[in-house]
Structure 1
């Protein structure tokens, strides 16, 4: 079924959109794919929030799978601390997600305006957060992007977990029983996600809850730096600075949650058994989960997802650090990048290939171009091959690999002497063979500088 939306005159209020039984009003917020607007059931007067998604934008950004995932996830979640999905409608150009209306805004705004919360108020919100996240895990749902911006607060001061666009379900687990997609927001992401070796969705969500608890009680992030490499180093170490005035019970719990080792990190059930957590704890009452089913238009699920044959064959196979930054709407990137060295004596790019594979691939590329190769101390030196009778003026380039973390490396190509034009030609060929983007080149410079 394709829904037809129509506008009607409302006198002094101007023009409003009527969508089936819903009257659409003011804009509540804007996202990557459209707007969130206030909606009202014409028959009952009950308020809702409608997430309006542009189909064209979803297709262009290849995010149809993410939207379908969010809808499928919200359909099975019915908990007082999770935003409810009531209905999904569609027109030829848009998708309309009718959601529970939460009128208190984001928890981020609450902290930004009030600063840190009191111990009792902070604990109450954290208890609700753990209740909601535990429920999701029991349903096989892992949020993977828990942060202050994705936790809403209603008029009664209760929290509602929202934005399940990056969530994972049991079918997303690989044969090893782990998740492997690198996603989340840098300040809240668990160290095992960054290591790119697979991770447990429940354990990584627990880490994010610990970051949220820290911010609620202190007013600032436990791990923060404008330089991504420095931020990663802080997360990997898990070295949290605890204010002296923070209650000892909260300190101990935060330390157990922000344990960089996922195998020894405290579990959700152990959090609920913690003495500090249990104070004044009132578990959430879950109603009848069969009370209503979510109505979804067939048209919603007809968004075309590009097949493997339609995707760019030169696109990176793995999600790299730069793409991780792009997932965060809250990270300030101003001043993060610097201009290229005008002399172009050093060019760098990031890769997830092993050092051995990187050097072997570079050797193959430059050999095909007619250059000779010398290896020494883990470095690869590209030199003029006189047998090939190249016209270069003694071009000499050194290739070296630096480790940022066990799964992310920076390759540096450094010109020792020779013509810039031929050196750049060599670099362009290497970049093409590796499928390197300009963003990877700029990011590598900052990562290497920081490390």
Structure 2
């Protein structure tokens, strides 16, 4: 008779919590379902590798998340942080369990939500953000993936790792660091000037409301410069099933000018918001909505996926938080770099041509002047591409292909740090790929 294999005993964290199944995985963390041994209460336990966080310089982000969640733990629509535990190698964030998954998954299952349902979630989101802003905390990464649902379907705002606390503001009260997920982040965060955190969160609410009602993003382009051009042109279209009032609200939230954008406080006073929120919550499964059509009558694919760029891509646009140092070991020997600049396109391309000329590259401009290609010795080719990511800000991509061996080891090859030094004050922020 075969011997029945005994189930291993559950893991226990510091004698306080029993660890269960994995709920999610991230780059530096895993989230487990857990149970308090003291009262049997279900919790979520976020387990982080302490040496890895320290080695990659991400410890301040965790401290910021903990500090923000402790300040905001009294609001019913903000995920509660019960306690923080630590060993020499691990950090454990014991949080409220939200078994309903995230809002993005809900929209993916239902294709889109009716306006009363969307208004209910928007009401809870705005309530949480108003409370957060009143306590000096701007979230700065508001997106459906960070909006969780509890057992009763109530919204819980989570992931304050990119939040701004009062001590992060400049003397004028504005923020400087660019962060967030491009498809949901306000356009002003990519500019060199300071920006208002609550107004940036308001923009994200506009994107989220659009996604809840439509089932796809208003701006969805893997080409970051092109997406910013569309944002500044207000180049998006409403599906036919949007009500006129919903269109007006989203238009006022997705105003690329923060000075004229509607505030979160003002949204809560709008008749649509009050009326839709009072109609109740009908979560019946909807039939698949009609596919929106493009200008030629062809279908536009419906998608709620964000561009390939993530939060770290847009963070790297900030002069105050250049993440390239986090990846130096992994990027050693790669042959591409990018940087942002506030200089004119002509001045940037000309300077790169001068630097490349010292390395033996002979350049030829494109007809539109926005790119150049240089032929070097040993068969190497240097390509320069320039695009606008926001008014007065350019994103410059420099790539070297071909040739023999690594460019750093080849006479006349490219040393990126030397190039950065040669470009001098033209560089706003620098990031190695």
Q: Same fold (TM over 0.5)?
A: yes
- Tell me, in whole angstroms, the C-alpha distance in 2 between the residues paired with 1:212 and 1:400: 32
SS at match of 1:152: strand
Instruction: Check 1:371–1:103 CA distance in 2 against 1; reply closer, same or farther (3 A cut).
Output: closer
Instruction: Check 1:426–1:110 CA distance in 2 against 1; reply closer, same or farther (3 A cut).
Output: same
Q: Is the 8 A contact 1:88 1:96 kept in 2?
A: yes
Instruction: Check 1:414–1:62 CA distance in 2 against 1; reply closer, same or farther (3 A cut).
Output: closer
Instruction: Check 1:320–1:35 CA distance in 2 against 1; reply closer, same or farther (3 A cut).
Output: same
Instruction: Check 1:176–1:426 CA distance in 2 against 1; reply closer, same or farther (3 A cut).
Output: farther
C-alpha distance after superposition, 1:106-149 (max 9, x if no partner): 11111111111111111111110110111111110000101010
Alignment map for 1:306-325 (pairs within 5 Å): 319-320=316-317
Instruction: Check 1:92–1:263 CA distance in 2 against 1; reply closer, same or farther (3 A cut).
Output: same
Alignment map for 1:107-186 (pairs within 5 Å): 107-186=103-182
Q: Is the 8 A contact 2:359 2:414 kept in 1?
A: no
Match for residue 351 of structure 1? 340
Structure with larger Rg: 1
Residue 411 (structure 2) pairs with residue 407 (structure 1): no
- Tell me, in whole angstroms, the C-alpha distance in 1 between the residues paired with 2:123 and 2:232: 26
SS at match of 2:22: strand
Cα offset, 1:247, TM superposition: 1.3
Residue 250 (structure 2) pairs with residue 244 (structure 1): no
Cα offset, 1:238, TM superposition: 2.5
In structure 1, the gaps of 5 or more residues are 1-10, 283-315, 328-339, 384-391, 443-451
Cα offset, 1:27, TM superposition: 1.1
SS at match of 1:320: coil
Instruction: Check 1:361–1:52 CA distance in 2 against 1; reply closer, same or farther (3 A cut).
Output: same
- Tell me, in whole angstroms, the C-alpha distance in 1 between the residues paired with 2:12 and 2:155: 29
Q: TM-score w.r.t. structure 2 length? A: 0.72
SS at match of 2:414: helix
Match for residue 53 of structure 1? 48
Q: TM-score w.r.t. structure 1 length? A: 0.69
- Tell me, in whole angstroms, the C-alpha distance in 2 between the residues paired with 1:105 and 1:19: 27
Match for residue 433 of structure 1? 419
Alignment map for 1:69-108 (pairs within 5 Å): 69-77=64-72, 78-108=74-104
Cα offset, 1:414, TM superposition: 11
SS at match of 1:279: helix
Cα offset, 1:232, TM superposition: 2.1
In terms of mean alpha carbon deviation, does 141-150 or 219-228 score higher? 219-228
Match for residue 297 of structure 2? none
Aligned length: 362
C-alpha distance after superposition, 1:246-286 (max 9, x if no partner): 1111111111111111100000111011111112647xxxx
- Tell me, in whole angstroms, the C-alpha distance in 1 between the residues paired with 2:387 and 2:356: 20
Cα offset, 1:426, TM superposition: 5.1
Q: Is the 8 A contact 1:365 1:430 kept in 2?
A: no
- Tell me, in whole angstroms, the C-alpha distance in 2 between the residues paired with 1:398 and 1:101: 49
Cα offset, 1:237, TM superposition: 2.1
Cα offset, 1:434, TM superposition: 1.1
C-alpha distance after superposition, 1:155-200 (max 9, x if no partner): 2111000000000011111234211111111110111112332211
Q: Is the 8 A contact 1:378 1:400 kept in 2?
A: no
Q: Is the 8 A contact 1:67 1:165 kept in 2?
A: yes
Instruction: Check 1:68–1:441 CA distance in 2 against 1; reply closer, same or farther (3 A cut).
Output: closer
Match for residue 267 of structure 1? 263
SS at match of 1:102: coil
Cα offset, 1:40, TM superposition: 1.1
- Tell me, in whole angstroms, the C-alpha distance in 1 between the residues paired with 2:384 and 2:23: 52
- Tell me, in whole angstroms, the C-alpha distance in 2 between the residues paired with 1:112 and 1:46: 30
- Tell me, in whole angstroms, the C-alpha distance in 2 between the residues paired with 1:410 and 1:41: 51
Cα offset, 1:37, TM superposition: 0.8
Match for residue 67 of structure 1? 62
Cα offset, 1:372, TM superposition: 12
Q: Is the 8 A contact 1:379 1:398 kept in 2?
A: no
SS at match of 1:428: coil
Cα offset, 1:62, TM superposition: 1.0
Match for residue 208 of structure 1? 204
Instruction: Check 1:370–1:16 CA distance in 2 against 1; reply closer, same or farther (3 A cut).
Output: closer
Q: Is the 8 A contact 2:175 2:197 kept in 1?
A: yes
Q: Is the 8 A contact 1:320 1:352 kept in 2?
A: no
Match for residue 288 of structure 1? none
- Tell me, in whole angstroms, the C-alpha distance in 2 between the residues paired with 1:209 and 1:46: 32
Match for residue 16 of structure 1? 11
Q: State which of 216, 220, 235 in structure 2 corresponds to 1:220.
A: 216
Q: Is the 8 A contact 1:349 1:441 kept in 2?
A: yes
